[in-house]
């Protein structure tokens, strides 16, 4: 079946967060409900990472049938579900997993919080590579630990890991845990096998446990290969907790279903105990498990088409910005539908940049600084939307910048 991603679908009255809430411009930690995304002079939401496209047809059909059944009682994860997850990892990423390694959680962010609670003692330090997905900061700090960043380096338009700095920080005995974002949100890097091997070996050497957040692993552009971190070696697998989900891949985030893959039995039991202590992890969401299994079994044709469309959006964005938006540079992503824009040449501070986007252009991207101080002067935009919306957004910014 051929999907039409050009069609703009109105998300009003669907309780969508992306199209329903907005940050207070003067206080980024405060949010309020809004209908400013609709009607005349609407704001275009390009922030949170969900797509403005319907999920694959087989998923929608399966959910409709299930909804019509009418009984939504306690639900279990079946063997067939686990086999679908394992088959996906093998087919798409060449990573062989045992179905017994899978632990389900209602999202990757909850899982990262539970992982910090399980494996990090108060006062210990957690290594990150900023700029990075900001909910990691809360997961660390809300659970009594400290953030240490081995910040990424921007070199010739591409971000790289700083291995010397990383090793220096990993060798601190208070650093016990590293959250790897792979592919990396917001900078869009799909780390190479060599980079991952190097960083993984440093963690093994200094006994730093790795959480590999691979939620964006399926969203890879042409010519780029994703390497599953725990697939690199048995030693790496035994030292890693891998966070996966069908939510970014198939636009299912609201169904709150993710699969945490833990090859090491001791680590897996400890994590499971934390879930048990919270009374979680026994039952599943009926729509979430059905959508995940159906997507992994039947969603590939949709995924191929959506990635081709998003790559078209990326080419469009790059050409537009290169020729019509002086002062802005695209950090070309290798994966994810999130694009990190270097706006530093506009010469605006964070507050003025926010005014340019929200008040003058009436678009709402994620501000770079929320990903850490390394993000000052950057913006992150979500390009998983009909091209007409992207074009409208870019045209507005051009008008605001060039007057």
Ligand X SMILES: Cc1ncc(COP(=O)(O)O)c(C=O)c1O
Q: Which of 240, 247, 251, 361 binds ligand X (CB under 6 A)?
A: 247
Between the CA of residue 189 and those of 12, 181, 310, what are the distances in Å? 33, 9, 16
Between the CA of residue 400 and those of 52, 348, 355, 395, what are the distances in Å? 25, 13, 10, 9
User: What residues between 146 and 185 interact with ligand X by CB under 6 A?
Assistant: 181, 185
User: What residues between 114 and 143 interact with ligand X by CB under 6 A?
Assistant: 133
Q: Which of 55, 126, 245, 262 binds ligand X (CB under 6 A)?
A: 245
Query: How many Å apart are CA 296 and CA 92, to the nearest integer?
Result: 10
Q: In terms of CB distance, is 258 or 361 closer to ligand X? A: 258
Smallest separation (angstroms) from ligand X to the CB of 16: 14
Alpha-carbon dihedral angle through residues 167, 172, 175, 179, given to the nearest 10 degrees: -10
Torsions phi, psi for 41 (to 5 deg): 60, 35
> Pattern of binders to ligand X over 215-244, x per CB under 6 A?
x-----------------------------
314 binds ligand X (CB under 6 A): no
Query: How many Å apart are CA 217 and CA 296, to the nearest integer?
Result: 13
Q: Which residues contact 271 (CB under 8 A, 6 or more apart)?
A: 103, 114, 115, 118, 241, 260, 262
Torsions phi, psi for 293 (to 5 deg): -65, -45
Burial class (CB in 10 A: 0-12, 13-18, 19+), 68: exposed
User: What residues between 355 and 394 interact with ligand X by CB under 6 A?
Assistant: none
| Beta-sheet pairing, 338-342 with 175-181 | unpaired
Query: How many Å apart are CA 382 and CA 313, to the nearest integer?
Result: 10
Q: Which of 52, 82, 124, 213 binds ligand X (CB under 6 A)?
A: 213
Closest CB to ligand X: residue number: 107
Stretch that binds ligand X, among 104-112, 150-158, 277-285, 293-301 (CB under 6 A): 104-112
Q: In terms of CB distance, is 129 or 247 closer to ligand X? A: 247
107 binds ligand X (CB under 6 A): yes
Stretch that binds ligand X, among 13-21, 102-110, 142-150, 369-377 (CB under 6 A): 102-110
Q: In terms of CB distance, is 199 or 215 closer to ligand X? A: 215
Considering CB under 6 A, how many residues would be counted as binding ligand X? Answer: 13
Smallest separation (angstroms) from ligand X to the CB of 400: 26
Stretch that binds ligand X, among 17-25, 106-114, 115-123, 267-275 (CB under 6 A): 106-114
Closest to 259 measured CA to CA, from 269, 247, 267: 247
Residues contributing to the site for ligand X (CB under 6 A):
49, 107-109, 133, 181, 185, 213, 215, 245, 247, 253, 258
């Amino acid at each position: 079946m051929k999907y039409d991603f050009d069609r703009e679908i109105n998300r009003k009255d669907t309780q969508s967060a992306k199209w329903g809430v907005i940050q207070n411009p003067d206080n980024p930690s405060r949010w309020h409900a809004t209908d400013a995304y609709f009607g005349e002079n609407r704001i275009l939401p390009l922030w949170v990472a969900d797509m403005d496209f319907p999920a694959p047809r087989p998923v929608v059909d399966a959910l409709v049938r299930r909804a019509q059944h009418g009984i939504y009682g306690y639900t279990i994860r079946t063997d067939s579900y686990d086999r679908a997850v394992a088959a996906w990892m093998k087919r798409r990423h060449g990573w062989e997993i045992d179905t017994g390694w899978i632990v389900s959680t209602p999202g990757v962010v909850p899982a990262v919080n539970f992982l910090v609670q399980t494996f990090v003692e108060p006062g210990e330090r957690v290594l990150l590579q900023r700029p990075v997905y900001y909910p990691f900061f809360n997961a660390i700090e809300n659970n009594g630990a400290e953030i240490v960043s081995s910040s990424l380096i921007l070199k010739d338009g591409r971000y790289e890991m700083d291995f010397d700095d990383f090793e220096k920080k990993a060798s601190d005995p208070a650093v016990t845990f590293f959250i790897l974002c792979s592919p990396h949100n917001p900078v869009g890097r799909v780390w190479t096998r060599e980079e991952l091997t190097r960083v993984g070996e440093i963690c093994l050497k200094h006994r730093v446990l790795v959480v590999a957040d691979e939620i964006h692993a399926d969203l890879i552009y042409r010519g780029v290969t994703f390497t599953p971190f725990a697939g690199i070696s048995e030693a790496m697998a035994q030292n890693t907790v891998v966070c996966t989900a069908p939510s970014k891949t198939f636009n299912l985030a609201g169904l709150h279903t993710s699969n945490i893959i833990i090859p090491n039995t001791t680590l897996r039991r400890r994590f499971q105990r934390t879930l048990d202590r919270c009374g979680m992890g026994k039952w599943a969401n009926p729509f979430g498990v059905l959508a995940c299994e159906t997507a992994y079994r039947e969603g590939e044709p949709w995924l191929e088409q959506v990635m081709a469309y998003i790559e078209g959006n990326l080419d469009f964005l790059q050409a537009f910005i290169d020729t019509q938006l002086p002062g802005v540079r695209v950090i070309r992503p290798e994966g994810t539908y999130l694009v990190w824009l270097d706006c530093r040449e506009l010469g605006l501070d964070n507050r003025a940049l926010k005014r340019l986007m929200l008040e003058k252009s009436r678009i709402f991207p994620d501000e770079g600084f929320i990903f850490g101080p390394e993000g000052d002067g950057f913006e992150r935009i979500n390009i998983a939307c009909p091209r007409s919306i992207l074009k409208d957004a870019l045209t507005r910014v051009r008008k605001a910048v060039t007057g």
